[in-house]
Structure formats: C-alpha cells, structure tokens
Amino acid sequence: MDASTPHESYNLDIQTPAGNLTASVSVPTGLIPISDIIPLMRSLGEQAHQLAIDNTTRTGATISCQKGCAACCRMMIPVAPPEAFALRTVVEALPSTKKEPLLERFQSAQKTLREAGIEEGLHRLAFSEDQVTDDELEPINRAYYALRMPCPFLEDEVCSIYKQRPSACRELLVTSPAELCQDLIRNPVNLIPAPFRIGTVLSTLWADCFQGPIRLIPLPFALDWAKTWESRNTRTWAGTELLNRALNAAAQFLQRQSP
C-alpha cells in the first residue's frame, strides 16, 4: 500500500484463543486490489501468533525452529489466492539469472508430482470450482509429504523469499526437538498453534469477493494459477471495505475454532 495516499486508521480489539489482540491499522481510503490487503492481515496474524508464542515460552519451552532448519519446506504449502498474485509479482521482479532457475524448479516440482500420480489431485485443489473437503485433502497431503520434495523457493536449505514467504510458512513453529520434524508422520511434534490462520482468512476473503470456493492453492501451482486469473487482481475495492471483509473472514475463522 502506498503510504502517500489518504488512509483511514482503526483501533482493533480481537479476542483470540491465545488472548486479546489490540492493534492499530490503517488502510487507503481509495481503491485497491485484493492482494494489497496481505501485509496488513499478515501483521495481524503475526501479532496474534506472538500471543501464542508468549504463552508457550512463559512455561519454559523454547522454539526449536531456526535458519537452515527446512523440514517444513518439504510439506505441501497452501497458498491463498491473493498470496499467489503476490508471489507472481515477486518472481516477475527477479533478475533473469534468478528467475529462470526458479521457474525450472517449479516445472521440476510439477513433473515430480505428475510422476508420483498426485498432480491431477493437486491441480484440482488449485483450479476446480468445487469446494474440496478435508477428507479429500488428507490423502493428497500425505502423498505429497512422502515425496520429501523441497519447495521451489528453497536454496541451500534457506528460503530465497523469506520476507515474502506465504502465511502458512510463518505459522509453523515447534518447541519439540528439531530432528523430530524430519518425519512428521511418525514423530509427534509440539506445534505452537496460530490463533487464526491468515492463509485461510485470505482464502475466505477471496471466496467472499468472488463468490467461489474457499481455495488454498498448492505452492507448485501458485504461479500458474496467478497467471491464469491475473485479470481478477485488477478488480479493486475501497480499502476500508476490503479491511471490513477481511476482518469478517477472520471472525468466521475464530468462530469455527470456538469450542
């Protein structure tokens, strides 16, 4: 968002499972595309997650995750539609010396998934207009994880777009020994739960704005998806309206988590 344009400020008070989140935010009063709401919503998600982290560390536990620990970079990372547009923008801005090898890794990942027999199911997650259920997703998720295939953005066991990484990557923190993360199927790990998952919130926002399924796109297909639907990121809403819709999506998520 352009800080030079007129903005409207809000003081938010959000009750989460990890505690009360108070935050001051501002959004443009003018028209913005849906991808422009990502930094604001990620900031709220990270502040909420910090409440959960503080609650955990007060018990004496410590976070095991650190630079170079990339076990979670071999999981199926779900990307919200607005995040797919943002990722494509990041990739398109790279110099050719970095962009071309990266795009080759995306193609290689899709080939690996095709040879493993799960590309069709993952493609459906990305492009189908049907709402995919958790029961349908679980076997695909496990088959993907069994491949232990590195994320295309992973270089020398480090995320090459760390500051722009998807929300799902930001929400994976554990306090159990790092070596247990090498096999999450067999090993129990102590995950610090995110009070609300921003990827899901952004996907719910997308569904509200475009009247479609709550879509989470497998990362290897995110760039293809964003290219296919790039015209939708030219549609704009008043910043205040988009914020209110996003907060409603967050409220829906929190309501679903309530006991």
Condensed to tens digits (0 to 9), the pLDDT of residues 75-85 reads: 899 999 999 99
Average pLDDT value for the chain: 90
- State the pLDDT confidence band at 259, using cuts at 50, 70 and 90: low
- State the pLDDT confidence band at 62, using cuts at 50, 70 and 90: confident
pTM: 0.91
pLDDT more than 90, % of the chain: 61
pLDDT score of 3? 53
Contact 48, 21 (CB under 8 A): yes
Residue 258 has pLDDT above 70, yes or no: no
Domain chopping of the chain, boundaries: 7-257
Q: What mean pLDDT is predicted for residues 237-256? A: 93
Name the residue with higher pLDDT: 218 or 132: 218
pLDDT digits (tens, 9 = 90+) for 158-213: 999 999 999 999 888 888 888 887 877 788 888 888 888 999 999 999 999 999 88
